[in-house]
């Protein structure tokens, strides 16, 4: 009878029954249970190119290499560090305070609302920066004759002298420090970043 049952059982089912363990589980599934998953490792013979790794630590970036947000964050480590060395430590100015001073110098009688929109920052944050600049005698607030509720901003002589000096030093130090860029690439990158910023 057992022989007859074996003959009537489809071949695929017979193979499956033989492969099952006593508790009914398949050995293949049991072998995976409790074992670590296979780890994907880079082949030892893959080329380790400088452009494929992080600037520090030499970790492979993979798909991050094409992600602009990631690359901008990596580049900002360099630019912020340079700013701190040239401006922050010696003049106790944060990046936003220097930026406000430079924009007010380039745009006489600009309003706080315009600065808020241009920098994409909150009004209280901008006001805090302006208060510090005004307290140091670098900018002055003037009542807007067309709208008594608002005011315009201008730099003082001291503010103009300082922002010109700081901007010159920043430009000179960037050219000297960013040695991986040619002068043409430096200008091109600045133009491309400005173009990207206009996406918002």
Q: What is the pLDDT of residues 167-198, one digit of tens each?
A: 999 999 999 999 999 999 999 999 999 999 99
**Phi-psi region at 199: left, alpha or beta (left = phi > 0; alpha = psi -120 to 50):** alpha
H helix intervals, the chain? 2-8, 11-19, 27-32, 68-83, 89-91, 95-106, 112-119, 123-135, 157-177, 183-197
Neighbours of 94 (CB within 10 A): 15
Strand partners of residue 143: 151
Q: What is the pLDDT of residues 3-51, one digit of tens each?
A: 454 445 555 444 445 444 445 545 554 445 566 666 555 554 344 445 6
- CA dist., res. 122 & res. 72, Å (int): 22
Q: How far is CA 60 from its chain centroid?
A: 17
pTM exceeds cut of 0.85: no
Q: Are strands 139-143 and 151-155 parallel, antiparallel or unpaired?
A: antiparallel
**Phi-psi region at 33: left, alpha or beta (left = phi > 0; alpha = psi -120 to 50):** beta
Q: What's the pLDDT score for residue 55?
A: 78
Token pair belonging to 39: 């780890």
Q: What's the pLDDT score for residue 44?
A: 45
């Amino acid at each position: 009878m057992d022989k007859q049952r074996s003959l009537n059982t489809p071949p695929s089912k017979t193979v499956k029954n033989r492969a099952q363990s006593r508790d009914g589980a398949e050995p293949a599934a049991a072998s995976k249970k409790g074992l670590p998953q296979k780890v994907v490792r880079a082949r030892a013979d893959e080329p380790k190119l400088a452009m494929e790794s992080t600037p520090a630590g030499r970790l492979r970036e993979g798909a991050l290499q094409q992600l602009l947000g990631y690359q901008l964050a990596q580049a900002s480590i360099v630019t912020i560090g340079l700013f701190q060395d040239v401006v922050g430590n010696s003049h106790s100015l944060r990046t936003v305070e220097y930026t406000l001073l430079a924009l007010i110098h380039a745009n006489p009688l600009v309003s706080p609302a315009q600065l808020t929109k241009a920098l994409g920052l909150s009004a209280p944050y901008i006001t805090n920066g302006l208060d510090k600049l005004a307290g140091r005698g670098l900018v002055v607030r003037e009542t807007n004759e067309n709208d008594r509720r608002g005011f315009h901003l201008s730099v003082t002589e001291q503010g103009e002298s300082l922002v010109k000096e700081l901007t010159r030093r920043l430009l000179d130090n960037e050219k000297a420090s960013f040695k991986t860029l040619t002068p043409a690439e430096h200008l091109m990158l600045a133009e491309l970043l400005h173009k990207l910023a206009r996406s918002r």
